[in-house]
Amino acid sequence: MRKLWTLFLVVLFLWPVTPGYSKWYKGNTHTHTVNSDGDSSPDAVARWYKEQRYNFVVITDHDFVTSVQGLNAVFAAEDKFLVLSGEEVSGKLEDKTGRSLPVHLNAINLEKTIPPLGGESVLEVLQNNIDAINRSGALAQINHPNFRWALGLDQMYAAQNYKIFEIANFSTNCNDAGGGGLIGTEALWDSLLTRGKLAYGVASDDTHELKSWGPGYSNPGRGWVWVRCDKLTAEGIVTALDRGDFYASTGVTLKDIKITDKSYTVEIEKPERGETRYTVCFIGRTGKVLGQSYENPAVYRITGREGYVRAKVIDSNGFAAWTQPVMTGGK
């Protein structure tokens, strides 16, 4: 009996104590249908994402919650595909010139429509709608900050109680690259992180068109997230997004991301065929490249002086993936 007890203790202490979450699920968090300004039915939208082997899609019609119960009755498959309810809460404010500034947020996994709230400033509109989404129990996602240049660094930094925002939106005229002296959304992300504000970056289609295709249309299949959790459920997806256990992508697939207090490791899922090559950039305070690797897995040794560490993987065909930051302190 003593030998059996000793063997049990040995096995217990050798067993991994932090196995983490085991599965990756591909999804889009920003999608429209004919219930707002999309050109296709909810049925057609859900069908497209399922046929393209996504694991989930969030339908976020403007100021309207599209019912997903019937869609899931038709399209849901256990641990393979799920439709989540949502809404794009379309706040707005007119500036001094009369120009309308869109202050848009997605409410992910929402039951009832949230009327967009106003305010005396862009920040007040933004905060009022974040608060309304949080009160509803849904997850708030700030959308396309540079659409009509509505949201700048000051507003994004001052806003409270949000975790995720779009660093890449593939609808038309979202100005992700910045221009005319205004920074792009990835630089905005680094600026927030440099100031010590933890935020996670999402890529999304912001789908509007399935019937017309081309560079001038807001088509699906251009940007997505891979979320890591144990099981494909609405709660599991939202919880993983909220804790930053996901990465954004335009075509690069990762096999694993491991972060400890000493290292940040990114492992790429290489395609079975082809000669694609990869560059992994580890990025810290002010957007500085801390290190660059062509290895797989790519490993960065954390010093504690970076402020934060995140990774961007770029392949030789121009596709990318962005992992989420970990704050490290230091000055």
Model confidence at 103: pLDDT above 70: yes
Q: Are the CB atoms for 165 and 141 separated by under 8 Å?
A: yes
The torsion region of residue 173 among left (phi > 0), alpha (psi -120 to 50) and beta comes to left
State phi, psi for 47 to the nearest 5 degrees. Answer: -60, -40
Cα 68 from Cα 82, distance rounded (Å) = 9
Per CATH, the number for 252-331 is 2.60.40
Dmax over CA atoms of the chain, in Å, equals 83
**Can you give the length of the chain in residues?**
331
251: phi > 0 → left, psi -120 to 50 → alpha, else beta; which?
A: left
Q: What is d(CA 251, CA 314) in angstroms, rounded to the nearest whole number?
A: 9
Residue 165 has pLDDT above 60, yes or no: yes
Predicted confidence band of residue 14 (pLDDT cuts 50, 70, 90)? very low
Per-residue tokens: 119: 């305010």
Residue identified by tokens 């969030």 is 58
What are the domain boundaries of the chain? 20-250, 252-331
Comparing 17-31, 108-122, 154-168, which segment has the lowest mean pLDDT?
17-31
In 152-229, DSSP assigns E strands to 164-169, 200-204, 224-229
Kindly tell me the sign of the dihedral angle through the C-alpha atoms of 222, 226, 227, 233: positive
Pick from 21-25, 144-148, 202-206: least confident: 21-25
Residue 11: the pLDDT is: 34
The answer, yes or no, to whether residue 286 has pLDDT greater than 50, is: yes
The pLDDT tens digits for 239-252 are 999 999 999 999 99
The alpha-helical segments, DSSP class H, found in 169-297 are 185-194, 234-243
Q: Please tell me the distance from the alpha carbon of residue 274 to that of residue 42, in angstroms, as a whole number.
A: 36
Angle at 167 between CA 23 and CA 76, to 5 degrees: 40
> What confidence category does residue 22 fall into, taking pLDDT thresholds of 50, 70 and 90?
confident
At 115-162, the pLDDT tens digits run 999 999 999 999 999 999 999 999 999 999 999 999 999 999 999 999
d(CA 55, CA 154): 35
Q: Which residue has the higher pLDDT, 232 or 11?
A: 232
Query: According to the model, what pLDDT value does residue 15 have?
Result: 28
User: How far is it, in rounded angstroms, from Cα 156 to Cα 189?
Assistant: 9
pLDDT score for 154? 98
Q: Determine the 3-state secondary structure of 193 from DSSP.
A: helix
pLDDT in tens, 47-89: 999 999 999 999 999 999 999 999 999 999 999 999 999 999 9
Q: What is the mean pLDDT of the chain?
A: 93
Instruction: Specify the DSSP class assigned to residue 81.
Output: B
pLDDT at 99: 87
The reported pLDDT for the residue numbered 18 is: 33
Closest CA to 283 of 227, 328, 225, 228: 328
Give the 3-state secondary structure of residue 151: coil
Closest by alpha carbon to 209, among 218, 199, 200, 221?
218
CA distances from 92 to 102, 116, 156 (A): 5, 8, 15
pTM for the whole structure = 0.92
Instruction: Give the integer Cα–Cα distance in Å for 284 and 310.
Output: 7
What percent of the chain has pLDDT above 70? 93
Q: Is the peptide bond before 220 cis (omega within 30 degrees of 0)?
A: no
Check whether 13 has a pLDDT greater than 50: no
Alpha-helical runs (H) found in the chain: 2-14, 42-51, 69-75, 122-136, 153-158, 185-194, 234-243
In whole angstroms, give the CA distance from residue 295 to residue 224: 24
CA dihedral of residues 146, 324, 203, 230 (deg, nearest 10)? -150
Quick one: 20-250 is in which CATH superfamily? Answer: Metal-dependent hydrolases (3.20.20.140)
Q: For 307-328, what is the mean pLDDT?
A: 98
The mean pLDDT value for 253-279 works out to: 94
